[in-house]
Structures are given as C-alpha cells and as structure tokens.
Amino acid sequence: LDPGEEAGGGGAPRPPPALGDDTEDVSLDLGGEEELALRKAQIRHPLATFFHLFFRVSAIITYLFCDWFSNSFVACFVTILLLLSFDFWSVKNVTGRLLVGLRWWNQIDEDGKSHWVFEARRVSTIAASTEAEARIFWLGLIICPVIWIVFFFSTLFSLKLKWLALVIAGISLQTANLYGYIHCKLGGQKSISRITSRFFVTADVPKSKYQAGPSAINHEVSNADLPHAVGFGFSWY
Amino acid sequence: MKRQIKVTSLFQMRDLKAVGKKFVHVMYPKKSSALLRDWDLWGPLVLCVSLALMLQGGSADSKEDGGPQFAEVFVIIWFGAVVITLNSKLLGGTISFFQSLCVLGYCVLPLTVAMLVCRLVLLAGSGTISFIVRLIVVMAMFGWSTLASTAFLADSQPPNRKALVVYPIFLFYFVISWMILTFTPQ
C-alpha cells in the first residue's frame, strides 16, 4: 500500500451519506483491498443485473412455450402479464438506477399539472456501475421490445388474435421503459456538456482524494453540490 | 447486497400501502388528492385481472376455455378507459392521462365486488329471485362506481362540459355491469 492510501483511511472526513435510501451510493467504509476488488469487479450489482434480465426473458419464454407449461390460456395470459408488470416495475425503479444511474418518473404538483422528470447521475462513485453492467442493461432494454414487436406481427398474421391484447401490453410496457431511459440518457448528455468544468470522474481519482489537502477540497466541493445524487434518495417512483 | 434487498422489500410495502389507501378512497369517495396525485396502475391491473377471471367460463360452447372472453374483458376495460380519457382531454380537461386511467381503473372496485356477490348468489340458484337480487346489487354498485369516478373526474372540467364528460363514464360502467348481470355459468 502506498502511504497515500494508508493516510487516507485514517483521519480524513467522509462525505455524508445520501438521505433516505439505503441503496444509495454511499461511500463504503471498506478496507483498501476490498475496495480494490470491488472496483475491479465486472459486475457490482449481481442481483439487479439478474432481475433486470430475469423477468423479461421469462415473459418471452413463457409466451413462446406456453403450450408446454399449461393448457389454459388464462393461466398463461395472467402469468405473462404479471411477469411483464414486475419487469416494468423493477427496471423502472431499481435496475436503471443501480446499473446505469438513470431514473425517470412522473410527478403532479399542487396545480394538478403533471411533469415527467428524467435524471442522469452526474458523478460516479466507487459502487457505481461498470461497463459490463451498462452493456447488459442496454442490450436487455433494447432487444426485448424488438422481440415483442416481432411477436405482434406474427400474432397478427397468424390470426391468433386472442394473444394480441397481451402482446400489445408487452410492447407498451417495454417500450415505455426504453423511451424513458433513452430520454434520460440523451438529456443527461446535454447537461453534462454544460457542466464539464465541475464534472468529476472518480475512476481517475486515487483513494487519497479523501485526504485533507488542496485536491481534497476540490473534490469536497463537487461532492457537496450534488443535488441530483442527494435528491436521488427520495421521491422515487 | 443485503442493503439492496432490504430496501427493495421496503419498497413493495410502501407501494402496497399506497394501493390499499386508494381502494379505501374509492369506497368512500371524498375530495381527496391521494387518488389523483400519486397515481399508479397496479390497482386497476389487479381489478381487471380478477374481474376477467370471474367473468370467464360462462360461454355457450364448452370447448373454449374462456380464452377470447378473458381477453375481451381486458380490452373493453383498458380500451374503454383510454377512450374516456381521450374524450375528456379533447374537451379541455386538466387532468393528466394516467391520472384519469388510474381513477377509472380503481373505480371498477365496486363492480368487482358486485361480480363476486353475483357468483356467490348464482351458486345458490339461478331462478327469478337470484336474478332480482343480482339486479339490485349490480345496479347499486354501478351507481357507486359512476358516482365515485365522476366525483374525481368531473371537477377537472368547466361546468358546462360536465355532462359531456360524465356520459362516457356512465356508458363504460354500464357495459361492465351488463357483462356482470348477464353472466351465467355453465
């Protein structure tokens, strides 16, 4: 260990954890080796990655092989619909935030006007996402709606119209998430170009950033004015 | 990792409580903002699925396992709700698309209760008396649904347009009540 690291672990102040949310990217108080391992890990949120793909892929598989599972149309319909709903909820509320740091929601203010809010996290921390996770996220997000659109045409042309309602529901739920996250991503890139002077990429900054000193002051400032990262904690959904 | 799981489960509790609160608001419709401000579509989904499940199995031909009917109920409810929402937006309503869907979906609750009661009554018998009982129950619940959703939705319209907004809601719940009343099990 270099002296910088050891001194950093000692008496330097930690930035305050974000409010109201346990899964927020709080800087973890790990020892030096664990932190290194975490940084090198390909997948930092294995559970989120698994569930991101699990519900979508199970819905598609159930739709394709529903005849093997059960004779009843109703059981298949309800199962696939539930899987699609769980997938929508988990991708919108959990995996997007954890895997790529994006989130979007709708809020209605006192006047009754509804606003759609799209946010992208500006500063990445140690527990932030990796390339592999981001790739899995976007691939899963894009490929599944395309598959459902293929199902739509196959259902339409083979005239199995009773499945049409389900396929349309699947397409709308999955493209809603796709649209929301693309909007977040594009919006985030626009705002990043405006604030590049304050943009801080943690990957380049060594652990000694938490030491007292001139470089630490810069980092403290940009860490402190993270309205997005703090605001990430509340009003979910 | 442990922290992730903990918050996800906390999340479902909060969502469930929000859904439960909205069900209570439908049964006692007052001017409350819970249904309007924090809209969600979980309640309508659950109600739609349970209503469709209870309505199937009443068709004349026994070879079908109720497939088309199940999808029909689904399509009627969601498509009907979308059309009503579009109608109210075209008339200049201030309520947002998903809020309106939320209210219309949650106000299907009394009719779902009516369906449950009808099924129980039909277990006892399917004569004239059971028909009269079912008629009274369905009419009462239909009135309740329409009044509840009108209480939430009509406010967002200018006064001379209220009737224009209310009549599609009336039709919507009327069609659902008709499906419930004419349901006869095999």
Q: What is the pLDDT of residue A121?
A: 80
For residue B41, what is the nearest residue in chain A, using CA coordinates?
A85
For chain B, 186 residues long, the average pLDDT of each consecutive 10-residue run is 46 76 76 70 91 75 60 91 90 84 92 93 87 94 91 77 86 93 81
Q: What is the pLDDT of residue A68?
A: 85
Q: Which span out of A183-197, A206-220, B53-67, B102-116 was modeled with the highest average pLDDT? A: B102-116
Segment A6-19 shows an average pLDDT of: 45
pLDDT 10s digits, B113-153: 999 999 999 888 878 899 999 999 999 999 999 998 888 88
Interface of A with B in 16-45 (CB under 8 A): 21-23, 45
On whether the CB atoms of residues A102 and A119 are closer than 8 A, the answer is yes
Residues of chain A in contact with residue B3, where contact means CB-CB under 8 angstroms, are: 22-23
Minimum-distance CB partner of B70 among A22, A74, A108? A74
Handedness of CA A91, A93, A99, A103 (dihedral sign): positive
On whether the CB atoms of residues B103 and B168 are closer than 8 A, the answer is no
Angle, vertex CA A224, rays to CA A223 and CA A226, nearest 5: 75
Q: What is the pLDDT of residue B38?
A: 78
Q: What is the pLDDT of residue A31?
A: 61
Are A162 and B95 an interchain contact pair (Cβ–Cβ within 8 Å)? no
Interface confidence, given as ipTM, is 0.79
Q: In angstroms, rounded to a whole number, what is the distance separating the alpha carbons of residues A74 and A211?
A: 62
Segment A180-192 shows an average pLDDT of: 77
Residue A18, pLDDT above cutoff 70: no
| CA-to-CA dists, residue B117 to B51, B167, B185, angstroms | 12, 26, 14
For residue A205 the two structure tokens come to 């900054």
Q: In angstroms, rounded to a whole number, what is the distance separating the alpha carbons of residues B27 and A28?
A: 47
For residue A151 the two structure tokens come to 């199902």
Q: In angstroms, rounded to a whole number, what is the distance separating the alpha carbons of residues B106 and B98?
A: 12
On whether the CB atoms of residues A101 and A129 are closer than 8 A, the answer is yes
For residue A163, what is the nearest residue in chain B, using CA coordinates?
B71
Q: What is the pLDDT of residue A174?
A: 94
On whether the CB atoms of residues B79 and B56 are closer than 8 A, the answer is no
Segment A25-51 shows an average pLDDT of: 70
On whether the CB atoms of residues A129 and A41 are closer than 8 A, the answer is no
For residue A180 the two structure tokens come to 């929301």
Q: What is the pLDDT of residue A97?
A: 87
A77 touches chain B (CB under 8 A): yes
Q: What is the pLDDT of residue A35?
A: 63
On whether the CB atoms of residues A158 and A142 are closer than 8 A, the answer is no
Are B8 and A81 an interchain contact pair (Cβ–Cβ within 8 Å)? no
What is chain A's mean pLDDT, rounded? 72
The pTM for the full model equals 0.72
- For chain A, first and last CA: distance in Å? 43
